[in-house]
Amino acid sequence: MGLFLAQLLTGLANAGALFMVASGLSLIFGVTRIVNFAHGSFYMLGAYVGYSLMQVLPGAVGFWGAIVLAGLIVGIIGALVEVLVLRQVYSAPELFQLVATFGVILVVQDLALMIWGPTDLLGPRAPGLEGIVRIMGEPVPQYDLALIAITPFVAIALWYLITRTRVGILVRAATQDREMVGALGVNQSLLFTGTFFLGCALAGLGGALQLPKGGADLLMDFTILAQVFVVVVIGGMGSLPGALLAAVLISVLNVFGVAYLPQSTLVLMYVVMVAVLMWRPFGLLGREEVAGELGQVGEPDRPVRPAGTAVRVLVAALLAVLAALPFWGGSFAVVLVTDILIFCLFAASLHFLLGQGGLVSFGHAAFFGGGAYVAALLVKYAGTPMELALILAPLGAGLVAIAIGWVALRATGVYFAMLTLAFAQLLWSLVFQWGDVTGGDDGLVGIWPARWASDNDVYFWLALVLSVGGILVLRHVAHAPFGYALRAARDNAPRAEAMGLDTKRIQHAAFAFAGMMAGVAGGLFVFSKGSVFPNEMEIARSFDALIVVFLGGVKTLSGGWVGGATFKGVEDLLVRFEYWRLALGLLIIVVVIVAPDGIVGGLRKLGERLGLLRPDEAPRGTAAPAAREPAE
């Protein structure tokens, strides 16, 4: 009984910092509809800033003062990010802002390294709260009790702010209906900045508060991020009570998981998340997404047209030049371009899902890595030849996509995205954990191409054929009836349903198709690297693809591969420099601000402005010839 109570208290203490970070993320999403990937970075900053302040400020007053100050300072940094970066891109397509927040992650990582150095910092202990209290004979750290006391205080303060003050009423109104608040004459930008300040301050506070239980290190931004996402989604995005409930639930479950299922530490959280979302697709206390709320923001996509002869000839010519790369590019160029081609196919497959289907997946790496693992496992355990493995990899990935899509497509919008993330993480933890079969994080090595393709040049051609072929197939499907049905479901689902289209089935098929194409890329990847590791399934890989798709341009047909090629190329250059993450992060932010339609969309607009391209307002056919046609 004593132990049970002590474990419960440990869980409640852990819930404190988690709740603060999660409530900040939830608040920001609720009001601004921005999924703030950089929230973990603000948490990390809170820890570092708090640490530095504690070195300067003496005693107990200094300690607690440092925590509060750290919250305020991080809040101000967050507000600055909102004003300088995010405000520029509010009219961009749905979820585009998350690209900017991804840039912020990179910038913060390098800045923190510059300022605080690479060594982990051990957090100071809370003055006067170093010891333990014995509760029913079990030791309970005093600071844990302090955390348990502080959390409700913060929660109540938040509750008061949201329900009892004018600002809070605006925040709540904005969470429910943004246009309405704008219509009421409220200064929306001030509200957004304020929300960012508050949300980031909470993250900073959480980071500083956990110092006595740990410290500050450069990996903590990503470590907390997955956990916070899980909490926010389980609680219901935009719901503060939900965040509190979920933080407590996850923390307490974790404690008992550690005690009674010690091997479960990786998986438990995601299993709970999937279970909760299957039961309540919008989280415990979340509100159902109103249709269209997260639909297409900004101007609608342009109609797609099959390429004309001139374009086809040009593309064929460029491909011929590319195919000749081994003769003019040198041996490393072949390796690099093989990598880029594979990544382009991966990005293009996600782009198809996102651009044509309007389905934002945060877990697309599940299919890339899934395809890679299917191929690797087949080679390893069944001695499958490369050719067959390359065929079975997409089939395996497609099957995984069918299974995941079956559940995830019950939800829509951000919840769909979060469910895909949860499944990808589940799959990742399975691969990571099941060392006997998958090799765990030691991976599967020695998966090399068949003899005829073992030369780098030959493998390049194989990758060229399959990747470019895959990209062309994806592109063609966008022009095919299926692509139109998919876009119909995205543009207006009720209309499509009232027109005989089974929108869920169409989306499910698209999800499986995109998963298959990612599987092709995954299969190619394994044989080009000779090995595969769980890294190919982790969140970072999914984010990579997501970022390049947005950077390339969601509402264009070529955005996926253009973004992929550009990003990979630039990255390969930048990593040669010391502070490449800073440079890459700033570059991403600049692109986001300069070209909110993505690279391709931005270039198209530029071309139209310069008169090089025909603008959309006068498409072919409005001119006289069409009108003159006999109406028969």
* Binding to other proteins in span 381-410, by CB under 8 A: none
CB of 565 to other proteins, least distance (A): 4
Q: Are 244 and 155 in contact (CB under 8 A)?
A: yes
Task: Report the distance separating Cα 498 and Cα 478, nearest Å.
Answer: 22
CB of 362 to other proteins, least distance (A): 19
How is residue 101 written in tokens? Answer: 């927040």
CB of 161 to other proteins, least distance (A): 30
* Among the listed residues 78, 103, 141, 515, the single contact to other proteins using CB under 8 A: 141
Any contact of residue 424 with other proteins (CB under 8 A)?
A: no
Angle at 375 between CA 370 and CA 379, to 5 degrees: 145
- For 170, the 3-state DSSP assignment is helix
* Among the listed residues 536, 591, 598, 603, the single contact to other proteins using CB under 8 A: 536
The structure tokens 């940094």 sit at 77
Any contact of residue 461 with other proteins (CB under 8 A)?
A: no
Between 187 and 454, name the residue whose CB sits nearer to other proteins. 454
Span of 176-184, 236-244, 279-287, 332-340 interacting with other proteins by CB under 8 A: 332-340
CB of 162 to other proteins, least distance (A): 28
DSSP for residue 290: P
Between 159 and 484, name the residue whose CB sits nearer to other proteins. 484
Element (H, E) at 115: helix 97-116
Between 118 and 383, name the residue whose CB sits nearer to other proteins. 118
Cα four-point dihedral sign 177, 182, 186, 190: positive
CB of 120 to other proteins, least distance (A): 4
How is residue 355 written in tokens? Answer: 């651009």
* Among the listed residues 35, 337, 347, 365, the single contact to other proteins using CB under 8 A: 337
Binding pattern to other proteins, positions 10-49, x when CB under 8 A?
xx-xx-----------------------------------
* Among the listed residues 128, 385, 530, 607, the single contact to other proteins using CB under 8 A: 530
Task: Report the distance separating Cα 518 and Cα 538, nearest Å.
Answer: 14
Q: Which of 367, 377, 342, 380 is nearest to 529 (CA)?
A: 342
Between 34 and 269, name the residue whose CB sits nearer to other proteins. 269
Any contact of residue 255 with other proteins (CB under 8 A)?
A: yes
Task: Report the distance separating Cα 288 and Cα 415, nearest Å.
Answer: 10
How long, in residues, is the chain? 632
Any contact of residue 577 with other proteins (CB under 8 A)?
A: yes
Q: Are 440 and 263 in contact (CB under 8 A)?
A: no
The structure tokens 């550009």 sit at 566
Any contact of residue 632 with other proteins (CB under 8 A)?
A: yes
CB of 536 to other proteins, least distance (A): 7
Any contact of residue 317 with other proteins (CB under 8 A)?
A: no
CB of 60 to other proteins, least distance (A): 18
**b/e per residue, 281-313, with b = 16+ CB within 10 A?**
bbbbbbbebeeebbbbeeeebeebeeeeeeeee
Between 239 and 467, name the residue whose CB sits nearer to other proteins. 467
* Among the listed residues 72, 80, 87, 120, the single contact to other proteins using CB under 8 A: 120
Any contact of residue 196 with other proteins (CB under 8 A)?
A: no
Any contact of residue 321 with other proteins (CB under 8 A)?
A: yes
* Among the listed residues 72, 76, 80, 336, the single contact to other proteins using CB under 8 A: 336
CB of 70 to other proteins, least distance (A): 18
**Window 93 to 112, contacts with other proteins (CB under 8 A):** 109-110
Any contact of residue 472 with other proteins (CB under 8 A)?
A: no
* Among the listed residues 156, 317, 331, 452, the single contact to other proteins using CB under 8 A: 331
Q: Are 485 and 496 in contact (CB under 8 A)?
A: yes
296 contact partners, CB below 8 Å, separation of at least 6 = 93, 94, 358, 490, 491
Task: Report the distance separating Cα 87 and Cα 106, nearest Å.
Answer: 19
Between 75 and 585, name the residue whose CB sits nearer to other proteins. 585
Q: Which of 197, 179, 462 is nearest to 338 (CA)?
A: 462
Any contact of residue 128 with other proteins (CB under 8 A)?
A: no
Binding pattern to other proteins, positions 218-237, x when CB under 8 A?
xxx--x---x----------
| Cα distances (angstroms) measured from residue 135 to each of 1, 14, 142, 151, 252 | 11, 18, 11, 20, 18
**Window 144 to 163, contacts with other proteins (CB under 8 A):** 144
**3-state helix/strand/coil string of 373-396:** HHHHHHHHHHCCCHHHHHHHHHHH
CB of 150 to other proteins, least distance (A): 16
Any contact of residue 55 with other proteins (CB under 8 A)?
A: no
Span of 270-278, 405-413, 446-454, 604-612 interacting with other proteins by CB under 8 A: 446-454
DSSP for residue 450: P
Any contact of residue 130 with other proteins (CB under 8 A)?
A: yes
Span of 69-77, 233-241, 487-495, 601-609 interacting with other proteins by CB under 8 A: 487-495
What is the distance, to the nearest Å, from the Cα of residue 182 to the centroid of all Cα atoms in its chain? 29
| Cα distances (angstroms) measured from residue 296 to each of 85, 291, 468, 492, 555 | 21, 11, 29, 10, 10
The structure tokens 């890329």 sit at 521
Any contact of residue 3 with other proteins (CB under 8 A)?
A: yes
Between 469 and 494, name the residue whose CB sits nearer to other proteins. 494
- For 132, the 3-state DSSP assignment is strand
Where on the phi/psi map is residue 30: left (φ > 0), alpha (ψ -120 to 50), or beta?
Answer: alpha
Cα four-point dihedral sign 172, 174, 180, 184: positive
Span of 25-33, 69-77, 396-404, 527-535 interacting with other proteins by CB under 8 A: 527-535
Any contact of residue 208 with other proteins (CB under 8 A)?
A: no
CB of 16 to other proteins, least distance (A): 12
First to last CA, the chain: 86
Any contact of residue 6 with other proteins (CB under 8 A)?
A: yes
Between 33 and 490, name the residue whose CB sits nearer to other proteins. 490
Task: Report the distance separating Cα 608 and Cα 601, nearest Å.
Answer: 11
Between 101 and 210, name the residue whose CB sits nearer to other proteins. 210
Q: Which of 412, 418, 357, 374 is nearest to 516 (CA)?
A: 374
**Window 283 to 312, contacts with other proteins (CB under 8 A):** 296, 299-303, 305-306
